[in-house]
Amino acid sequence: MIEQGLFKRYFVGRDGFIWWIGQIAPESTWKDNQPGYPVGTNDDIKGFGERCRVRIMGYHTANIDEISDDELPWAYFMYPVTAGTGNRSSCQSANISQGDFVFGFFMDGEDAQMPVIMGLLGNNEYAAVSKNIPKARFVPFSGYTESDKVAYTSLNVDKGGEIVKQTGAQTTEGKTNSQGSKTEEPNNPTTNESVTQSNSKIDAASKKAAEEQSQPLAQPSDCEPIPLGKIQKDLQNTIVEIQKTQKSVYDFSKAVTGDITGGIDDVQNFINEKLNWAIEKTSEGIKWIFKQIQKYVTDKVNDSMKDLYYFLFPNERPELKKAVDTINDLIACLFRKFIKGLIVQIGAFLKDAANKIINGAKCVIENLVANTLGQIIGEISREVNNALSGIKSLVGQVAQVTSIIDDVLGIITDLLSFLSCEEKPACSSINEWSILSGAKPLSKGDIDSLVNKAKNLAAGVQSTVEGIANPEFNFDTSDILGLDACNIGPQLCGPPLAEFFGISGTGALGNLVISTAGEVIGIDMISFGIGYDKEETYGNVLDNCGKGKGAVIKPIVEDYTDENGNIQSGVTGIDILDPGTGYLSAPDGSRGGNEYTWADPEDSIVKHPDGSYDVPKPPGNLIVVNPGDEVILPPGVCIVTEPQEGGQGGGEEICGGDEVIVTKPGVFTSPKPDYSRFSGIYPSSSSGSYPAILYLCEINIVDAGINYTEGDKIVIRPDNGASAEPKFDQQGRVASIKVTEGGEGFTEFPQLYIQSDTGYNAVLIPKLCIDRVGSDKLKEPMGQDKVVTVIDCVGKF
């Protein structure tokens, strides 16, 4: 040291290289080095370039009483050769925050007054990063200041995970206030300040982005006269958004990805806003239906008038014209009145139904529309026939429109085509779209069922209100949820279903085979269906709980001979373009519907006697129950209720796994499931299953690649005894692949590639076919590990 002091040359590189490790001081002590916003002149810039204060280990103590942050030296930054210096407008800003651990060297050697930062030591996920700045330095603390907004890309969606707190050097002496605690409350549960960020942990922004709902696309009324599917989808989307928002009160991951920025009041405001939107959309959809009904009724009435024109002399016809005008006006006014009343009544209905419909939004909307139609038709029949009776004075007989109810939806046929050779305009087969998952088939509803329900209701309305004026016309929506056996309660989540849709075809059904890793690996076709178009038939993997994502299937449409010997065009199988991930191979105890997981397996569920559900509560929340409430607790646990306030009730035992009707008032804390007392597939009435064995039957070429040569081999991982041989064209592209051995016992989607010294980029996708397994095969010693269990979902989930 003395030697260096005596012979110091004050020239960088000649006085040795002294490097150091330190920590960036709180930004309040250095941020004003730069203005923080673009200013007009240099006079407003206090510092020289990018600098910050740094506390250097071994040179400065951790104790801020001894050296305060304001007294620390300014450190300059060293930039990499890729960053530029600013010359020729080439530059890259430093990315340094308070609390960063950095290392560097002193430009002035042992004087240690001119530190230069060369690099940073990044945080990892295990390092406990204090949310606030601890009194004692040299422990990790957050780069966010107390007033900063944390990036959604840094917010965790799961709070768990191990972290390692740094305790720092222990002293036997008493600490001063400024030394303080070496550790403060870490921010790790909520915030990821590791160098890998969202590369390694799920962040709120990514989760939110993956929750995009599909949207219904409107079609011309010639293509979809009754837009049931659109109304259903809008309602379904709204219900799911409301349920997510309600759940965000109890569920952290839904809270960080939710749209609520305020408190509990905001939740209610959000729900009201969403409901109003749904009311508007439902009313919009029903208005389209009204338009069709109005067209039909007007046609019917005017047609019945024609029968009367003949009986009048030409000089009497102006009077009849006035009467017909009046009736037409009446019809128009009636529909105006209906539409006015509709918004109010649908609003009341949806507000009541929002906490009752967990599943089956389609069925509910069908009932709502049938109910509305029935009541309108009944009311119109009565009003119109009353009005027509007034014409008797003119023509001496009563005109009667009797068939409005009978032909309630004769509207479908449009009369505009006068030319026998005129073709109907083509309609799009895509009427639902998601920016993430693409096209889906939008249900057009069961029109026949709807018409029958409407007819019955119309007849009822007409007979009950005969002769009674209903000037305000209030729709009765009280019975819609119970009108038909709509399964609107939460359903056990299970394997997904395969849907096939397009311009034609019906009846194709199959059970998807799901691997234990949650991939779609095959299908067992139960029925090929009939009438499918070979070009325009599409497939979709429908997960009623929305758990799995990303599976892409393409139906194979072929001719086959049915049991009656007729040639039919049906879906005989699928190509799996992407097996996806996250699908359930069997029910796991979670419940939901409408493509949303409403309750997790550990949640407690309460259904009230009026059919409404409380928000499912995770373990640890207080639940109040009253007689008649239906409770579902997680499996394997039993609780005993406590009395409610005032000492009412209590002492009732409720055990998990199935519905229990409560008989006494009580209070309990939602319990944690006890899986040690429970094993196997979650109990379900719909878990009929059968064993199957999968083998490799085909390999599809997605990308033929380039420059492969004869002798290159296809690698199948795991191969399960399967092998295949490729053939290449002159440019080394894969021309064809022959499966030489199918192997057996695939329980996951195999990875395929071509081992080659020369070729690149071929993408191959396996097609696994299914063998149903007889009981004799299962008895073989090596049989069990080759078997997959297929849940018979068709018609059940």
Partner 1 sequence: MAQLKNYHTVRYGTAEGEIKFGHITQDNVQSAVMLRNGSSNNHYITLDSSGAPHRKYGTICRSPGSFQVRAGDNAPKDQPGVYVEAVSGDLILRAPSGRVRIEGVNIDLIASGSDGENGVITIDSNEKVIIKSQIIDVNSTVSTKIFSENTVNMIGKGILNMYGGLIDAADGATKLKGSLGGSLNEEQNKV
Instruction: Give the shortest CB-577-to-partner 1 separation in angstroms.
Output: 7
Half-sphere exposure of 105 (CA within 13 A, CB side): 11
Q: Write each residue from 250 to 289 as x if it is in contact with partner 1 (CB under 8 A), else as -, in one continuous string.
A: -------x-------------------x---x--x--xx-
287 vs 608, beta carbon nearer partner 1: 287
CB of 287 to partner 1, least distance (A): 5
Helix (H) or strand (E) holding 763: strand 760-772
Tokens of 656: 């998990």
For partner 1, which stretch binds (CB under 8 A), given 75-83, 160-168, 300-308, 680-688?
300-308
By the rule CB under 8 A, 81 interacts with partner 1: no
Cβ(481)–Cβ(235) below 8 Å: no
Residue linked to tokens 């519907």: 593
Restricting to residues 376-405, which ones interact with partner 1 according to CB under 8 A? none
Q: Where are the alpha helices (DSSP H) in 445-604?
A: 447-464
DSSP string, 351-408: HHHTTT-SS-HHHHHHHHHHHHHHHHHHHHHHHHHHHHHTTHHHHSS------TTTTT
Q: Whose Cβ is closer to partner 1: residue 384's or residue 486's?
A: 384
Beta bridge partners of 323: none
Angstrom CA distances, 164 to 87, 125, 129, 755, stand at 44, 9, 9, 44
437 binds partner 1 (CB under 8 A): yes
* Residue found by looking up tokens 């009194």 in the block: 135
Question: Cβ closer to partner 1: 415 or 468?
Answer: 415
Pairwise CA distance, residues 398 & 417, whole Å: 32
Q: Which of 146, 422 has the CB closer to partner 1?
A: 422
Structure tokens at 539: 């497939």
| 514 vs 576: CA distance, rounded Å | 12
Given candidates 163, 249, 430, 465, which one binds partner 1 under the rule CB under 8 A?
Answer: 430
Give the shortest CB-339-to-partner 1 separation in angstroms: 10
> Residue 426, interface with partner 1 (CB under 8 A)?
yes
Assign 494 to helix, strand or coil: coil
Q: Which CB sits closer to partner 1, 63 or 197?
A: 197
For partner 1, the closer CB: 235 or 488: 235
Query: Which part of the chain contacts partner 1 (CB under 8 A), choosing from 47-55, 167-175, 307-315, 671-679?
Result: 307-315
Nearest distance, CB of residue 428 and partner 1, angstroms: 6
- Name the DSSP letter for residue 618: -
Enter the tokens of residue 343: 């918004």
DSSP-derived pairing of the beta strands 115-121 and 74-77: parallel
Minimal distance, residue 579 CB to partner 1, in Å: 5
> What's the CA gap between 433 and 101, in Å, rounded?
48
Contact assessment for residue 255 and residue 624, using Cβ atoms and an 8 Å cutoff: no
Interaction residues for partner 1, span 580-619 (CB under 8 A): 580-582
Distance from C-alpha of 255 to C-alpha of 248, rounded to nearest angstrom = 4
Q: Which of 168, 341, 550, 643 binds partner 1 (CB under 8 A)?
A: 550
Q: Does 578 participate in binding partner 1 (rule CB under 8 A)?
A: yes
DSSP string, 544-583: TT---EEEEEEEEEEEEE-TTS-EEEEEEEEEEEEEEE--
Q: Using the rule CB under 8 A, which residue among 169, 415, 468, 567 binds partner 1?
A: 415
Site for partner 1 in 133-152 (CB under 8 A): 144, 148-152
- Tell me how crowded residue 474 is: count the other CB atoms within 10 A of its CB: 11
Binding mask 335-374 for partner 1 (x = CB under 8 A): ----------------------------------------
Minimum CB separation from partner 1 for residue 596, in Å? 15
Q: Which of residues 679-738 bind partner 1 (CB under 8 A)?
A: none
d(CA 329, CA 564) in angstroms, rounded, equals 56
The token pair at 76 is 């300059």
Q: Out of 34, 63, 124, 328, name the contact with partner 1 by CB under 8 A.
A: 328
Could you give the 3-state DSSP secondary structure of residue 219?
coil
- Of residues 201, 291, 337, 777, which one binds partner 1 by CB under 8 A? 291
Question: Which of 587, 667, 654 is closest to 625 using CA atoms?
Answer: 667
Span 469-528, contacts to partner 1 by CB under 8 A: 515, 517-519
Based on CB atoms, which residue is closest to partner 1, 258 or 666? 258
Query: Which one of residues 371, 750, 768, 793 is an interface residue with partner 1 (CB under 8 A)?
Result: 750
Question: CB 580 → partner 1: shortest distance, Å?
Answer: 6
Say how many residues make up the chain. Answer: 797
Nearer to partner 1, 285 or 489 (CB): 285
Pick one of 435, 622, 655, 661: the residue that binds partner 1 (CB under 8 A): 435
Find the shortest distance in angstroms from Cβ 700 to partner 1. Answer: 14
Among the listed ranges 171-179, 432-440, 688-696, 726-734, the one in contact with partner 1 (CB under 8 A) is 432-440
Q: Does 298 sit near partner 1 (CB under 8 A)?
A: yes
Candidate list 154, 232, 375, 720; residue touching partner 1; CB under 8 A: 154
Q: Which of residues 158-217 bind partner 1 (CB under 8 A)?
A: 196-199, 202, 204-210, 212, 215, 217
Rounded to a whole number of angstroms, the minimum distance from the CB of residue 582 to partner 1 is 8
Number of chain positions touching partner 1 (CB under 8 A): 85
Q: State in angstroms the smallest separation of the CB of 437 from partner 1.
A: 7
The closest alpha carbon to 773, from 694, 685, 655, belongs to: 694
State the nearest-atom distance from the C-beta of 764 to partner 1, in Å.
11
Only one of the segments 66-74, 81-89, 310-318, 618-626 lies at the binding site for partner 1 (rule: CB under 8 A); that segment is 310-318
Report how far residue 669's alpha carbon sits from residue 686's, in angstroms, rounded to the nearest whole number: 30
- As measured in angstroms, the least distance from the Cβ of 103 to partner 1 is 21
Q: How far is the CB of 34 from partner 1 (least distance, A)?
A: 15
Rounded to a whole number of angstroms, the minimum distance from the CB of residue 515 to partner 1 is 8
CA 464 to chain centre: 45
Candidate residues 26, 495, 510, 579; the one interacting with partner 1 per rule CB under 8 A = 579
Secondary structure in 3-state letters for 661-719: ECCCCEEEECCCCCHHHCCCCCCCCCCCEEEEEEEEEEEEEEEEEECCCCCCEEEEECC
Strand-by-strand arrangement of the 787-791 sheet: 760-772, 689-706, 787-791
Of 307, 316, 407, 725, the one binding partner 1 by CB under 8 A: 307
Smallest gap from Cβ 551 to partner 1, in A, equals 9
- Cα–Cα nearest to 594, from 351, 281, 233, 208: 233
Task: Quote the least distance from Cβ 748 to partner 1, whole Å.
Answer: 8
Which of 169, 264, 416, 485 contacts partner 1 by CB under 8 A? 416
| CA-based R_g, the chain, Å | 36
Please, what is the minimum distance in Å from the beta carbon of residue 543 to partner 1? 12
In the block, tokens 């007409």 appear at 462
Examine residue 134 and say whether the peptide bond preceding it is cis (omega within 30 degrees of 0).
Answer: no
| DSSP state string for 167-190 | -----SSPPPTTT--S---B-TTT
Footprint on residues 12-71 left by partner 1 (CB under 8 A): none
β-bridge mates for residue 725, sequence order: 738
- Residue from 444, 549, 733, 777 touching partner 1 (CB under 8 A): that is 549
Nearer to partner 1, 521 or 737 (CB): 521
**Smallest distance, Å, CB 295 to partner 1?**
5
